[in-house]
Amino acid sequence: MSSHMASSSNGGNGSGDSGAPRRNSKRPKYSKFTQQELPACKPILTPRWVVSAFMIIAIVFIPIGIACLLGSRDVVEVVKRYETECIPPENRSSTVQYIQSSANKICTISMTIPKNMKKPIYVYYQLDNFYQNHRRYVKSRSDKQLKSLGNEDDTSSCKPEDTAVGGGPIVPCGLIAWSMFNDTYNFSRLNQPLSVNKKGIAWKSDKQKRFGKDVFPKNFQGGGLQGGAILNETIPLSEQEDLMVWMRTAALPTFRKLYGKIEVDLQANDVINVTLANNYNTYSFNGKKKLVLSTTSWIGGRNDFLGIAYLTVGMICLALAMGFTVVYFIKPRRLGDPTFLSWNRGPGSQ
């Protein structure tokens, strides 16, 4: 009887015996990780550490912000809006009908260079209020078709621009390609033409991997309604860089896309005459069209946001460091002072 009770008692304490099997125990296996006993660094944020951290951030960020702003201000940029100017006055009350008509849409505008512009000078077109990030618009394309001739019939994701009116697939299919920008620009200075180099404006990865050398436009703009540019059917997609630039959809409704490069210097006060074909319809959605000439610096194109962001963070950290320093010297208190705990304060204190 006693031996039976003893064996039962030993069995009940089997969890403490490493050799005995565990009997339906729900206790997790012991480890320093599960018991939160791993070595850890627990720094104590003293006022000196806090002030030093804010001051270091300010010392680093403020010079970076100033350098970014100076680099952005070195960029010379000329912007010319023209969608209204290039509509004849008698047609400005019916702009949609005019842009959809067969009327001559050649227009001449001028741009005055404010400062010397060193080559290369990048030519951009800018569109406002054009939502290339719309879900249905972004999905209306076929990357397989763009890449390989064998996938010419892969147009299931391209509706409504998937099949031509007379039958057969549209290459390249989809709304993105269909709505490709088709305004053209010709530049001159002192009655001498300025050539625009349109090679090397697309990403290298697009030319080599995303657009096939054996894929040629076919039935393009053949869906019944012309949306934009007409592609040359004798040139493979891998060499049509205007299309590659347009197919990289923008994330915001105001965007710029590279049109080409002017590879001569422009001097201050030069007047650049631009003869353009105002073909692209932005009037249906109250969009704006702008022509942009821009140089670059070590930071890229003109963008003050990065410099302003660094300066803002740096100035905030500097103000916090100075404020904490003043408080520390005017009204110091002992680190870990228990009198500031609520249960150690008087009944009338808050």
* pTM of the full structure: 0.78
The closest of 69, 107, 70 to 89, measured between CA atoms, is 107
Q: How many Cα neighbours within 13 Å face the side chain of 139?
A: 7
Is residue 264 within 8 A of residue 123, CB to CB? The reply is no
User: pLDDT tens digits for 129-175?
Assistant: 999 999 999 999 999 999 999 899 999 899 889 898 888 899 999 99
pLDDT given at position 328 = 86
Cα distance between residue 54 and residue 77, in whole Å: 36
Q: Tell me the Cα Rg of the chain.
A: 34
In Å, how far are 134, 260, 280 from 213, measured between CA atoms? 29, 22, 28
pLDDT in tens, the chain (350 residues): 444 444 444 444 444 444 555 566 677 788 888 888 888 887 778 888 899 999 999 999 999 999 999 999 999 999 999 999 999 999 999 999 999 998 899 999 999 999 999 999 999 999 999 999 999 999 999 999 999 998 999 998 998 898 988 888 999 999 999 999 999 999 999 989 999 999 999 999 999 899 999 999 999 988 778 888 999 999 999 999 999 999 999 999 999 999 999 999 999 999 999 999 999 999 999 999 999 999 999 988 888 999 999 999 999 999 999 999 998 888 887 766 666 666 766 665 55
pLDDT given at position 340 = 66
